[in-house]
């Protein structure tokens, strides 16, 4: 019996599985967005062939394609896995947020990019009767929040532009940045200084500071929120340093890396 056809089919199947595994690795490493060129690179296929893989994964809802940017991102079929990831992340982050809350006596948050908006995964509220606090599960826009800016500062500009094209940049307060060029400049400042600030841009009497959790495989950030009267701009550098130090600890803990 001639088994050459079976051998060819087996070899092809193994290569196909390896390519799908490489795509899954890419999805895990870049859950927010990745391009067809990246898929072609990791699969070592022409873009036309790589696109057929992506079309199949999209039909099974493992990925979604942004119609504006053409970029792909993780799809709803992975939601149970994402929920578990978020639960584990929140468990790791919460003790640090509690420590920061006890030190600064203000509200601290963990947020993650959820589609085109920032979703609040965990919130440790200030003990003050007057405080600035969202609710777990609330979703805010990227252009007017410190969490949104911190997360956006870790994304490719193409992805940021695509999100803002869908969501717009509505004015929430007189201080809200509604100009795209000004906002991109704000993101550049956030990258240079290591933190982002919402200076009464989402709430007229609220000020927030956030830093990204870079390198953990999820587009996430932690932030401090407080009434502007208690958190002055002079207070920002000290609070931002505390957030940055905590983010470094968290990233090393989550990724298992050390200095």
pLDDT tens-digit map of 36-46: 999 999 999 99
Residues 41 and 115 both lie in one domain: no
Q: Which region holds residue 201: left if phi is over 0, alpha if psi is between -120 and 50, else beta?
A: alpha
Span 178-200, mean pLDDT?
A: 96
Pairing of strands 220-227, 206-212: antiparallel
What is the percent of the chain with per-residue pLDDT over 70, rounded to a whole number? 89
Residues 134 and 32 both lie in one domain: no
Q: Could you tell me the CATH number of the domain that includes residue 226?
A: 3.30.450.40
Give the structural domain span for 88. 79-255
Query: In 10 A of CB 77, how many CB atoms?
Result: 13
Residues 22 and 88 both lie in one domain: no
Residues 227 and 111 both lie in one domain: yes
Residues 53 and 131 both lie in one domain: no
Span 3-14, mean pLDDT?
A: 53
Residues 135 and 215 both lie in one domain: yes
Q: Using CA atoms, how far apart are residues 195 and 248, in angstroms rounded to an integer?
A: 12
The length of the chain is 259
Residues 24 and 104 both lie in one domain: no
- Give the Å distances, CA to CA, from 108 to 11, 199, 245, 254: 53, 16, 14, 19
Q: Which among 18, 50, 74 is the end of a domain?
A: 74
Residues 43 and 95 both lie in one domain: no
Residue entry with tokens 């578990």: 84
pLDDT tens-digit map of 78-95: 654 566 677 778 888 999
When divided into structural domains, the chain yields a total of 2
Q: Which among 56, 74, 92 is the end of a domain?
A: 74
How buried is 95 (Cβ within 10 angstroms: 0-12 exposed, 13-18 middle, 19+ buried)? exposed
Q: Could you tell me the CATH number of the domain that includes residue 12?
A: 1.10.10.10
Q: Decide if pLDDT at 182 tops 70.
A: yes
81 vs 54, which has greater pLDDT? Answer: 54
Q: Decide if pLDDT at 5 tops 60.
A: no
Residues 60 and 97 both lie in one domain: no
Spell out the residues 6+ positions from residue 15 whose beta carbon is closer than 8 angstroms to its own: none
Query: In 10 A of CB 175, how many CB atoms?
Result: 14
Residues 165 and 132 both lie in one domain: yes
């Amino acid at each position: 019996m001639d088994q050459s056809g079976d051998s060819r089919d087996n070899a092809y199947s193994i290569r196909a599985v390896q390519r799908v595994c490489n795509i899954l690795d890419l999805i895990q490493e870049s859950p927010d967005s990745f391009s067809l060129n990246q898929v072609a690179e990791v699969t070592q296929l022409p873009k036309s062939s790589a696109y057929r893989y992506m079309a199949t994964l999209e039909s099974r809802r493992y990925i979604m394609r942004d119609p504006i940017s053409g970029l792909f991102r993780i799809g709803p079929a992975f939601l149970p896995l994402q929920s578990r990831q978020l639960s584990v992340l929140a468990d790791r982050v919460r003790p640090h947020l509690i420590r920061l809350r006890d030190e600064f006596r203000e509200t601290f948050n963990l947020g993650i990019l959820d589609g085109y908006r920032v979703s609040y995964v965990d919130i440790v509220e200030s003990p003050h009767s007057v405080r600035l606090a969202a609710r777990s599960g609330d979703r805010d826009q990227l252009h007017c929040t410190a969490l949104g800016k911190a997360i956006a500062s870790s994304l490719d500009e193409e992805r940021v532009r695509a999100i803002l094209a869908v969501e717009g940049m509505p004015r929430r307060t007189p201080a809200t940045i509604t100009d795209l060029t000004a906002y991109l400049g704000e993101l550049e400042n956030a990258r240079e200084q290591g933190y982002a600030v919402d200076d009464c841009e989402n709430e007229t009497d609220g000020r927030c500071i956030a830093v990204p959790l870079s390198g953990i495989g999820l587009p996430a950030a932690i932030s401090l929120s407080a009434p502007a009267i208690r958190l002055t701009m002079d207070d920002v550098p000290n609070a931002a340093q505390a957030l940055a130090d905590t983010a470094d600890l968290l990233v090393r803990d989550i990724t298992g890396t050390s200095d």
